């Protein structure tokens, strides 16, 4: 069996994957190897499917995930492939294929063939869909079917899996004793597993047979992302006992899985008020020995429907600043409908901007020079340099071209003849030529 990046790193071996990540991130390859060995960096991959090597974790830039997938109402494969390609073109680092409608095997395989991004998924979705088809009841899912599906999806080339291992009977007891929740259960996989456990009066097989989960994913060197099935769907539920209990279990499992030679990542909550984001990340990092943290959002308010991507960007920037490693985008359609292609593009771009803002605080030496270069270009009214330093140069150029000035091509139509930089540039030309801020 091929060894995983974790196992090779523990042996002191530097791999081509580690070397590529080191070059991309401007970090010493020895630091990359050490953090792989300690479980603080992962690279979603699969021995059966070549894809981009994306480093996620300590000391690296914050990465962005885009999620797509069919629903029971809309299950057009071409539509999902178009969204996958749009997400890649817009700059997503990873992709999650989260289909629950139609031919799930075909959707997954078509998406995997359409992009070269690392692709993740949630195996419980297909497992419960298959149980409904076979038995007419999702609660009749048997553990062998579940593990067979995990194996099949890994064999297809999935690079990381959100597996709901942290929901157990004790966690559900916490949920019941606290009197349920304001926002209910908002994870499809989490809600389905809770229903299965209560109906069967049995422990979650993903928790009870955790070593079996690890064994399958380790075989393909797939990242095991410990799913947040009891994440808060309301800011009022953030840090409730059920959420904290699941996070505690996931952090324990992250360390255990890493010792077993599997790449491990922990997922974080969806709705978190602004004043609790830092504490949430500190808690996860300390309890997991600094395993990579995959934040879903987070949304710092519950009332932004239609603009949840903007609300999530505010939460994501804070999260990146305080140490989150991978951010799952939110689209304008969140809480309202299945996203379309434009929603996906908008979601990716807004999330990328928020990650950059967060990284300016987390990794200032790596990120701020681009902003300084943009400032100089604006001061000098050098439009080509402005476009070169813009995060979204095509969009910036399009807007300027649509509303170009008539009086002076150096200015923009916001100020025209009253351009502050043009006027002040003349006043301070001597200082500029002296090179103090050139």
**What is the block-wise mean pLDDT of the chain (438 residues), using blocks of 10 residues?**
94 98 98 98 98 98 98 97 98 98 98 98 98 97 97 98 97 95 95 97 98 98 96 96 97 98 95 97 97 96 98 98 98 97 98 98 94 94 95 95 87 85 77 64
Note the pLDDT of residue 420: 85
Q: List, in order, residues 6 or more apart from 352 with CB less than 8 Å away.
A: 64, 90, 91, 391
The DSSP letter of residue 187 is: -
Report strand pairing: 223-226 vs 264-268: parallel
Q: Output the pLDDT for position 422.
A: 81
| Secondary-structure breakdown of the chain: helix, strand, coil percentages, each rounded to the nearest 5 | 55, 10, 35
Q: What is the pTM of this model?
A: 0.95
Residue 285's φ and ψ, nearest 5 degrees, are -65, -45
Nearest to 326 by CA among 93, 74, 17: 93
**pLDDT the model gives residue 432:** 63
Closest CA to 93 of 314, 328, 319: 328
pLDDT at 232: 95
Buried b (16+ CB within 10 A) or exposed e, 211-241: eebbebbbbbbbbbbbbbbbbbbbbebbbbe
Those residues with Cβ within 8 angstroms of residue 137's Cβ, 6 or more apart along the chain or in another chain: 131
- Placement of tokens 């959002």 in the chain: 297
**In this structure, what token pair is assigned to residue 228?**
């947040």
**Those residues with Cβ within 8 angstroms of residue 275's Cβ, 6 or more apart along the chain or in another chain:** none
CB 42 within 8 A of CB 56: yes
- What pLDDT sits at residue 154? 98
pLDDT given for residue 428 in this prediction? 80
Domains in the chain and their CATH numbers?
A: 41-362 (3.20.20.540), 366-433 (no CATH)
The neighbouring-strand residues paired with 29 are: none
Residue 95: the pLDDT is: 98
């Amino acid at each position: 069996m091929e060894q995983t990046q974790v196992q090779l790193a523990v042996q002191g071996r530097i791999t081509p994957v580690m070397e590529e990540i080191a070059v991309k991130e401007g970090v010493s390859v020895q630091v990359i190897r050490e953090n792989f060995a300690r479980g603080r960096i992962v690279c979603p991959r699969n021995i059966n499917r070549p894809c981009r090597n994306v480093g996620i974790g300590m000391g690296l830039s914050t990465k962005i995930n885009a999620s797509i997938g069919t629903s029971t109402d809309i299950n057009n494969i071409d539509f999902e492939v178009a969204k996958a390609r749009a997400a890649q073109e817009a700059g997503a680092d990873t992709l999650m294929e989260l289909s629950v409608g139609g031919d799930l095997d075909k959707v997954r395989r078509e998406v995997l063939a359409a992009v070269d991004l690392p692709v993740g998924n949630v195996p419980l979705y297909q497992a419960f869909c298959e149980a409904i088809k076979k038995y007419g009841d999702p609660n009749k899912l048997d553990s062998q079917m579940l593990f067979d599906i995990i194996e099949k999806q890994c064999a297809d080339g999935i690079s990381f899996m959100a597996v709901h291992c942290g929901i157990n009977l004790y966690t559900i007891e916490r949920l019941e004793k606290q009197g349920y929740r304001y926002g209910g259960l908002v994870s499809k996989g989490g809600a389905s597993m809770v229903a299965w456990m209560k109906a069967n009066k049995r422990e979650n097989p993903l928790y009870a047979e955790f070593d079996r989960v690890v064994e399958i994913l380790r075989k393909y060197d797939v990242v095991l992302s410990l799913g947040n099935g009891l994440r808060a769907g309301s800011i009022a539920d953030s840090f409730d006992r059920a959420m904290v209990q699941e996070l505690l279990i996931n952090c324990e499992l992250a360390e255990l899985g890493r010792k077993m030679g599997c790449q491990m990542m922990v997922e974080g909550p969806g709705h978190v008020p602004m004043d609790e984001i830092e504490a949430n990340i500190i808690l996860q990092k300390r309890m997991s020995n600094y395993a990579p943290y995959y934040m879903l959002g987070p949304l710092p308010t519950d009332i932004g429907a239609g603009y949840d991507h903007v609300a999530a960007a505010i939460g994501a920037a804070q999260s990146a600043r305080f140490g989150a490693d991978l951010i799952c985008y939110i689209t304008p359609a969140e809480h309202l409908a299945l996203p379309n292609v434009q929603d996906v593009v908008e979601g990716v771009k807004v999330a990328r901007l928020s990650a950059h803002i967060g990284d300016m605080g987390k990794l200032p030496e790596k990120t701020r020079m681009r902003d300084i270069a943009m400032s100089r270009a604006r001061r000098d009214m050098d439009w080509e340099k402005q476009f070169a330093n813009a995060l979204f140069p095509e969009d910036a150029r399009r807007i300027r071209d649509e509303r170009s000035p008539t009086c002076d091509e150096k200015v923009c139509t916001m100020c025209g003849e009253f351009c502050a930089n043009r006027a002040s540039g003349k006043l301070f030309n001597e200082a500029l030529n002296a090179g103090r801020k050139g």
